[in-house]
Amino acid sequence: MREFDLIARYFSRPVPEGFLGAGDDCAVLPLVPGRQCVVSTDSLIEGRHFLSEVDPFSLGHKSLAVNVSDLAAMGATPAGCVLSLALPHVDESWLSEFSDGFYRLANEFDCPLIGGDTTGTSHGIMICVTVFGHITPGTALLRSAARSGDDIWVTGSLGAAHVALKLLQGDLARNDSLLEKTRPMLEQPWPPVLFAAQLPGLAHAALDISDGFLQDLGHIVKASECGAHIVFDHLPIDPSVRGLPGEMVEEAVLSGGDVYQLCFTAPVKHRNAIETLARQFDTPVTRVGTITDSGGLVVETLDGRRLTPSNTGYQHF
């Protein structure tokens, strides 16, 4: 199959009015009057970011999910995306499922696929997605914007993706029912995009949890030149991992990556508004701690035990 046939068959679904999609030298994306453009890109490399055995529908879903998650982390609204693919060979059933997974999420979040690039490679599959979004000028949720006294919030739950990965890698003893419960969280994350787009004006700092809760919150602490106090017992531990040995739960919750939920800080006076917004968008939110003046990042249990995890999260190199 030739490159152009492949693009026409799998990556040229209709785009909304006012857009120009695949087929010309560039895509065209209408600008939203009075808003700023927000851009992010993420790559997924076979063997590093996904296992070769992963089902292609999930991979298509996740390729876009990890990108819209970055838009959510800024409080931005998705506007469109482009997809670059490097493939070792043309496998039509793989392409068909991959594109179905990708388009499902693109439709869900009104983030049309408007272009990309397709090439062969003598290495594994490489997927690069760039997303465009928009936001009211000056309202992006920056990592540097946390203030002492802010509440620290987490959306969704923590730990399940990490446990699924450990099961798939054989680092945890085989447990089919646990894998069945946790695997969707690893392979098909749903970042809280609609909720997040309403956070500007309510929240101060935000980021998405991709490399591990502690490591990622550490970025806010560093950029905002503050400290953070976390109550371990208040963290939203995913129900599927609660029954595991304590040390495994701690590692999964504090250091497990691939979550694609948000950690954000907000002034105490916005508690009610945030809870109302969360109900409105069906997004679970949990208050897990407080931003402090200084003192670094401290995690304590309610009975005063201080946790110092040995593994602080995913290392890319």
Closest CB to ligand ADP among 13 and 147?
Answer: 13
Q: Taking a C-beta distance cutoff of 8 angstroms, is the pair 123, 88 a contact?
A: yes
Stated as kind and residue range, the H or E segment containing 177 is helix 176-187
Q: Taking a C-beta distance cutoff of 8 angstroms, is the pair 89, 119 a contact?
A: no
Window of 24-32, 48-56, 130-138, 228-236 that interacts with ligand ADP by CB under 6 A: 24-32
Closest CB to Mg ion among 117 and 180?
Answer: 117
Q: Within 24-63, which residues bind Mg ion (CB under 5 A)?
A: none
Q: Within 82-141, which residues bind Mg ion (CB under 5 A)?
A: 117
Q: What is d(CA 127, CA 259) in angstroms, rounded to the nearest whole number?
A: 19
Asked whether position 3 contacts Mg ion by CB under 5 A, the answer is no
Identified binder of ligand ADP from the candidate list 1, 5, 9, 23, rule CB under 6 A: 23
User: Which partner in Mg ion, ligand ADP, none is near 209 (CB below 5 to 8 A by kind)?
Assistant: none
Residue of 281, 51, 296, 35 lying closest to 166 (CA atoms): 51
Residues 6+ apart with CB under 8 A from 139: 75, 200, 201
Nearest approach in angstroms of CB 114 to ligand ADP is 7
Nearest approach in angstroms of CB 15 to ligand ADP is 10
Closest CB to ligand ADP among 39 and 268?
Answer: 39
Question: What are residue 258's DSSP bridge partners?
Answer: none
User: Which partner in Mg ion, ligand ADP, none is near 11 (CB below 5 to 8 A by kind)?
Assistant: ligand ADP
Asked whether position 118 contacts ligand ADP by CB under 6 A, the answer is yes
Q: Within 53-112, which residues bind ligand ADP (CB under 6 A)?
A: 83, 85
Identified binder of ligand ADP from the candidate list 56, 78, 80, 116, rule CB under 6 A: 116
Q: What is d(CA 215, CA 131) in angstroms, rounded to the nearest whole number?
A: 24
**Residue 72, by phi and psi: left (phi above 0), alpha (psi -120 to 50) or beta?**
alpha
Asked whether position 225 contacts Mg ion by CB under 5 A, the answer is no
Backbone φ and ψ of 150, nearest 5°: -60, 145
Window of 113-121, 122-130, 172-180, 245-253 that interacts with ligand ADP by CB under 6 A: 113-121
Window of 21-29, 36-44, 166-174, 204-212 that interacts with ligand ADP by CB under 6 A: 21-29
Nearest approach in angstroms of CB 7 to ligand ADP is 5
Q: Tokens at residue 259, please?
A: 């979550």
Token pair 């209709």 is found at 14
Closest CB to ligand ADP among 28 and 273?
Answer: 28
Q: What is d(CA 200, CA 296) in angstroms, rounded to the nearest whole number?
A: 26
Nearest approach in angstroms of CB 4 to Mg ion is 10
Strand ranges (DSSP E) for the chain? Answer: 36-45, 77-87, 113-120, 126-135, 151-155, 206-208, 227-231, 262-266, 285-292, 297-300, 306-307
For ligand ADP (CB under 6 A), the number of binding residues is: 14
Token pair 């680092």 is found at 171
Nearest approach in angstroms of CB 6 to ligand ADP is 8
Binding site for ligand ADP (CB under 6 A): 7, 11, 22-25, 27, 83, 85, 113, 115-118
Binding site for Mg ion (CB under 5 A): 117
